[in-house]
Structure 1
Amino acid sequence: MNSYTLYDKVGNKIKTIDPAGAVTHSTFDMANRVRTRTVEVRRPAPNPTKLLTTAFDYDGAGNQTWVQDPLGKITTRTFNGSGQQVSMTDPLGHAFQCCHQQLRRNDPHDRRDEHPNNRDVRPGRTPDRGVEHRHGWHPTGANDDDDLQPARAPHLDDIP
Structure 2
Amino acid sequence: WRDLEDIEKLECKPQILVALSALYMDETLTARGFLIDNLDFTDEQINRLVELGEIIKHRINGNVYYGLPHSSLASAYWEHGCDYRNLPNKDRESFVYRYAISDVSNGLSTILNTGKEKRVVLLCTAAIEGRLLEIVKKESDSERYLELILARANSGL
TM-score interval w.r.t. the shorter chain? under 0.3
Q: Which has the higher strand share?
A: 1
TM-score norm. by structure 2 comes to 0.24
Q: Which has the higher helix share?
A: 2
Considering only CA atoms, is the larger Rg found in Structure 1 or Structure 2? 1
Higher relative contact order structure (alpha carbons within 8 Å, sequence separation ≥ 6): 2
TM-score norm. by structure 1 comes to 0.24
